[in-house]
Amino acid sequence: MAAPTTMSVTPTLPRNAPLPPVRSRPAAAPTGGDPVAKFLGYFSLGLGAAEVLAPRLLGRLIGVGHHPTAMPLFGLREIAAGVGILATGRKAEFLAARVAGDALDLAALFAAWMDASESDRRRIVSAGIAVAGVTAVDIACAAAHARDRM
């Protein structure tokens, strides 16, 4: 009996055929990818809408009172960050904007706390704790996205 022969099959491409592009990682849609960033984007839209559409109610709930100009402006900032996170490929920049906005929120809450009644101070402290918690998530997510860009 004769020994079996092995055949090598090599795919051949036409000489001038273009090669497909090589990517180091798969491209993600602007709203795809990180579920935490996506959550923060939607959270920004919801909070911003509340600040723009119901500033008096929100101010009363968190103990800062009615600020007809400041609260809607803070809301517009939140909405811009949310749209940026969800609709652009520049999540890192808009997540960093959320961190900066959180610092502004905490400073505004502290300023309101200085002149507030005891019952309003409790509400302001509760709001501050909530903002601080979200700030921690914002910082972690912004840092992760900044690392991904390097």
**For residue 19, what pLDDT is reported?**
62
Q: What is the pTM of this model?
A: 0.76
In a domain, 137, yes or no: yes
In a domain, 134, yes or no: yes
The pLDDT > 70 percentage for the chain reads: 77
Q: How far is CA 82 from CA 23, 49, 66, 93, in A?
A: 28, 11, 24, 11
What's the mean per-residue pLDDT of the chain? Answer: 87
The two structure tokens encoding residue 20: 């497909």
In a domain, 70, yes or no: yes
Average pLDDT of the residues in 137-142: 96
In a domain, 8, yes or no: no
**For residue 89, what pLDDT is reported?**
84
In a domain, 136, yes or no: yes
In a domain, 28, yes or no: no
Domain coverage including residue 117:
35-149
Average pLDDT of the residues in 22-47: 75
**For residue 13, what pLDDT is reported?**
57
Average pLDDT of the residues in 81-96: 93
Average pLDDT of the residues in 74-96: 95
Three-state SS for 29-73 is CCCCCCHHHHHHHHHHHHHHHHHHHCHHHHHHHHCCCCCCCHHHH
Find the range with the poorest average confidence among 8-12, 14-18, 33-37, 115-119.
Answer: 8-12
Contact in structure between 137 and 36 (CB atoms under 8 Å): yes
Length of the chain: 150
In a domain, 115, yes or no: yes
Report the domain count for the chain. Answer: 1
The two structure tokens encoding residue 76: 């517009």
Contacts of 10 (CB under 8 A, 6+ apart): none
Signed CA dihedral, 29, 96, 135, 68: sign only: negative
The pLDDT > 90 percentage for the chain reads: 72
In a domain, 30, yes or no: no
Q: How confident is the model at residue 25 (pLDDT cuts 50, 70, 90)?
A: low
How many whole angstroms separate alpha carbon 15 and alpha carbon 92?
A: 42
Q: What is the DSSP letter of 26?
A: -
CB atoms within 10 A of CB 108: 18
